Structures are given as C-alpha cells and as structure tokens.
Amino acid sequence: MNRTPLRKTLFVLFLSLALLPLASAQATGGLISSQEALALERSGSVEQVQAWLQRDEVAAELTALGVDPALAQARVSALSPEEVDAMLHRIDEMPAGAGVIEVLGITFLVLIILDFIGVINIFGR
C-alpha cells in the first residue's frame, strides 16, 4: 500500500491545521505545552493559556501607549497568561518605574511635604 503514508501525512497535516488555534504559541505542533499541562493540573482547563483575543487586546493597549505595533506584538507574545490577564485588567494601576533624576525627586519630595503639612496645596486635595 503506497498510499497509506501519504494519506497519513495529509491527515496529520489536516489535524494539525484544525487544531492550530488550540496549540500553544510556540511551535510545539500538536503537543500539549507545559503551560497547558500545568493549567490542566491546577485548574482543569487550558482556557486561560489559549486566550488569544486577550493578547490582541493588550497589544492594542500597548500601541495606544506609544509602542510600535510590530513591537507591541512581540512584547505581548513574551507575556505569560497570568501577565496578559493582569495587563488587561490592571495596566493603569501597575507601577511604571521611571526613576527621574535625583534633583527632581528631591524637589518633588519637598513639594509633597509642604503640601502635606498644609503650607501649599499644589495637589488639590
């Protein structure tokens, strides 16, 4: 039977394509990724691992915050599912470390102190 290997290859190919949306971000083919295996073990479901739409949303958010669209995709693809979820729901509350020049920092601190003890009111409480 010469046809069998070809048919099998086609079938595997077909199934791989059919299962593509279920596969992990990396090229693990039809295999279950370790992320999915862990999600199965811990929550009984691989749903969060496969939440592709969420990643697109976060990429759009990064683009809106000034990141080049292609780079935004790359940045989002390096996030874990938990991180994607956190970005999606709490990005505005997340600390963005900037580390201004010290003089600025000290000035700011003095302003905070003055504001706090009621000498000035620049922060509009």
Partner 1 sequence: MKQTRPGPQLAVPAFLLLGLVLAGCAGTGPGAREALAPFDQPRLLESVAFFPQTELHCGPAALATVLDDSGLSIDYPALVERVYLPGRGGTLQVELVAAARSLNRIPWVLPPDIHAVLDEVAAGRPVLVLENQGLRTRPFWHYAVVIGFEPDRREIIQHSGTHAYLAQPMRRWLRDWNLAGRWALVTLPPDQLPLAPDRERWLQTLADFEAVAEPAAALSAWQTASRRWPEMPLAWLGQGNSHYRLGDTTAAIAAFEQALVLDPEQPAAAFNLGWLLLEAGEPCAAAARFEPLIGHPGLGQRAEDAWTLARGDCRD
Q: Does 88 bind partner 1 (CB under 8 A)?
A: no
* Binds partner 1 by CB under 8 A, chosen from 20, 65, 89, 107: 65
* Binds partner 1 by CB under 8 A, chosen from 10, 20, 60, 112: 112
What amino acid occupies position 99?
G
Distance separating alpha carbons of residues 82 and 40, to the nearest angstrom: 15
Q: Per CB under 8 A, which of residues 25..64 are in contact with partner 1?
A: 25-41, 44-46, 62, 64
* Binds partner 1 by CB under 8 A, chosen from 20, 52, 77, 107: 77
* Residue with tokens 């700011």, as numbered in its chain: 108
* Binds partner 1 by CB under 8 A, chosen from 10, 20, 22, 60: 22
Torsion 86-87-89-95 (CA) sign: positive
Torsion 62-66-70-74 (CA) sign: negative
* Binds partner 1 by CB under 8 A, chosen from 57, 67, 73, 88: 67
Under rule CB under 8 A, how many of the chain's residues touch partner 1? 67
Shortest approach of partner 1 to residue 59 CB, angstroms?
Answer: 12
DSSP 121: -
**CA dist 81 → 57, 65, 109, 122 (Å):** 13, 21, 37, 41
